[in-house]
A and B are shown apart, each in its own frame.
Chain A
Amino acid sequence: MLGSGGAAVMLLSGKILRVLLFMVFLAFLFQGAKSLATYSREQIIFFYLSYNLIDTLAQLFFREVYRFRSLVVSGNFDLILFKPMSPLIRVLLGGADLLDLIMLFLLTALTTAFAWQNLHPTFMDILLYVILLANSLAIAAAFHIFVLGLGIITTSVDHLIMIYRDLTSMMRIPVDLYVQPLRFLLTFVLPLGIMITFPSQAFLGLLSWQGVTVSLLFGIIAIFLSLRFWKFALTKYSSASS
């Protein structure tokens, strides 16, 4: 839903500016530093672009989650439950935003051009990257379904979803830059590293086959558990205020 023209242009400009400013900062950082841990400038920028791509994809598909609290608090969620369609599909995927779509096109173009120019991927690298991107979207969906379920139980979604956004923003840099046990926590407990760092590592040829398998396994388990949790949460819905 595009609001008034001026405000929409401002929002889009802000989003583009945010990506470009941090990208310029990362590039500039390498004028003072030889490398960042074991990564080169091009690799670090690619990690950052991939983070933006996955983050924007998740926002494009799951933006309706941000509006879920008012439905639960007001009791208007009843009206969705009555309808002959999956309530989960409605509250998870029902609010795509045109600005996110434009942003996704711009980011895809920028990431593709950057990778083509600087990283020279093979067909296999690209294929693995695309498969793991789809897996990232599945993990992101699972996160959002968990937030929806918690929203029904606790009637508080706003801060939870923002904490999810902040946690994912930690993945603007590769997960292996974090120390243990934080790295383990971010990779395997909240599988943000699997969701955001692993696709880029696969693209750069830095992820083993075991890593790819574990990643796909996490995607399947995350979706399965989130759907079970959603079903459980629905049984706790009290239809408040209606």
Chain B
Amino acid sequence: MRKYLTVFQISWQNEFVYRLNFVLLRLRNVIRLLMTYFLWQGVFLTNQTVFGYNQSQITTYIFLVLAVQALVLSAPSSDNIGSEIGSGDLSNYLVKPLGYLKYWFTRDVASKLLNLLFAVFEVAILFFLFRPVITFPASPLAVIAFLVSAILAMILYYFLSVSARFVAFWTPENTWGLAFVIIVIMETLGGSIFPLDVLPQPVYQLLQLTPFPYLIYLPIAIFSEKIVGLELVWILLQSSLWVIIMYLLTKFIWKKGLVVYQASGR
């Protein structure tokens, strides 16, 4: 455990070494949020409610997306794992007394905490710039359930992105393809641009059979108290189940990948 704490500390320090990179990365997240924000503002210029949402609910949703994305989606592992396998640098880790999956998970958590910290500042600045009306949950239980679902989403995203990057074991020269498709699906069907319950009921129910809504939409829906009671318990259970499924799948692909790994380039 101590060695992973050290990895955490080093990762945290690393993020501060490349300060400009980090600030520009955060700026990019704000730019993306602005497009979604003004798209919905345009909608509410001529409509009081859209799909049962009013302007304040959608604004709350968009601001929460920024915070949840910082916690769930920011991950240095997704930029590095593919190239480490492709270049043979993975061998450096295999000879160390260190779990590769645990190592990158620790680095991701360090990065996510820092991103979350900055996201809070960004939301505060945007809040003072645009002065939106934001709806907060009445029950503390919603806040606790939101935190649990966001942490589950963070773990789920880690396994999703890492398993996609493991394609590099089989195509070391090109590691981006599958990960790109997953990112595209996640952007739209994860709930970053719109709340998924605006979709027709059968489509929404079908989406719940995939891991994507558990990443962004459902944690925010829990915070907004759209999901309560037994449904809330059920959603948290389903989210946990997806984490377990993706963990087992990732371990399976990792083991199969190591069998074919040739440390090419070494």
Q: Which among B28, B175, B187 is the interface contact of A18 at CB below 8 angstroms? A: B187
Q: Specify which of A8, A9, A10, A160 lies most central, judged by the most chain B CB atoms within 10 Å of its CB.
A: A10
Contacts of A29 on B, CB cut-off 8 Å?
Answer: 43, 50, 194
B233 shortest CB reach to chain A, Å: 30
A173, B41: Cα distance in complex, Å: 12
Q: Which residues of A contact B32 (CB under 8 A)?
A: 166, 169
Q: From A173, which residue of chain B is reached at the shortest CB distance?
A: B39
Chain B residues positioned under 8 Å from A162 (CB to CB): 24, 28
Chain B: interface secondary structure?
Answer: helix
Interface-facing stretch out of A20-28, A55-63, A127-135? A20-28
A interface, size bucket? 35 or more
CA distance A37 to B25 in the complex (A): 31
| B residues less than 8 Å from A14 (CB atoms) | 177, 180-181, 183-184
In the assembly, what is the distance between CA of A173 and CA of B43, in Å? Answer: 11
Which residues from 13 to 50 on chain B have a C-beta closer than 8 Å to any C-beta of chain A?
20-21, 24-25, 27-28, 31-32, 34-35, 38-39, 41-43, 45-47, 50
Number of interface residues of B (CB under 8 A): 39
Distance in Å: Cβ of A144 to nearest Cβ of chain B: 18
Q: Which residues of A contact B171 (CB under 8 A)?
A: 4, 6-7
Q: How far does the alpha carbon of A39 sit from the alpha carbon of B42 in the complex, in Å?
A: 9
Does residue A76 face the partner (Cβ distance < 8 Å to B)?
A: no
Cβ–Cβ < 8 Å partners of B198 in chain A: 28, 32
The residues in A between 145 and 166 inclusive whose CB is less than 8 angstroms from any CB of B are: 156, 159-160, 162-163, 166
Contact flag A21-B39 (CB < 8 Å), given A7-B171, A10-B181, A36-B46 = no
Nearest B residue (CB) for A29? B43
A21, B180: Cβ atoms closer than 8 Å: no
B42 engages A156 (CB within 8 Å): no
Let me know if B12 is at the binding interface, CB within 8 A. no
Give Cα A22 to B189, complex, Å.
Answer: 10
A21 vs B185: C-alpha distance when bound (angstroms): 8
Residues of B84-111 contacting chain A, CB below 8 A: none
Minimum CB–CB distance for B63 against chain A, Å: 16
Q: Which of B42, B46, B198 has the most CB of A within 10 A?
A: B42
User: Would A34 and B46 be within 8 Å (CB), given that A6-B177, A7-B174, A18-B187 are in contact?
Assistant: yes
Residues 202-258 of B contacting A (Cβ, < 8 Å): none
A178 at the interface (CB under 8 A from B): yes
A32 to B54, CA, bound (A): 12
Neighbour of A173 across the interface among B24, B35, B180, CB < 8 A: B35
Q: Is B128 an interface residue (CB 8 A)?
A: no
Which residue of A is nearest B30, CB measured? A166
Residues of B within 8 A of A159 (CB): 20-21, 24-25, 28
List residues of chain A with CB within 8 A of the CB of B25: 159
What 4 A-B pairs have minimum CB-CB distances, sorted nearest first?
A10-B177, A7-B174, A7-B177, A159-B24
What are 27 contact pairs spanning A and B, CB under 8 A?
Answer: A7-B178, A8-B174, A8-B177, A10-B181, A11-B177, A14-B177, A18-B187, A22-B193, A25-B194, A28-B199, A32-B47, A32-B50, A32-B51, A32-B198, A33-B43, A33-B47, A37-B45, A39-B42, A162-B28, A163-B24, A166-B28, A169-B32, A170-B31, A170-B38, A172-B35, A172-B39, A178-B38
Report B's interface with A, CB cutoff 8 A. 20-21, 24-25, 27-28, 31-32, 34-35, 38-39, 41-43, 45-47, 50-51, 171, 173-178, 180-181, 183-185, 187-189, 193-194, 198-199
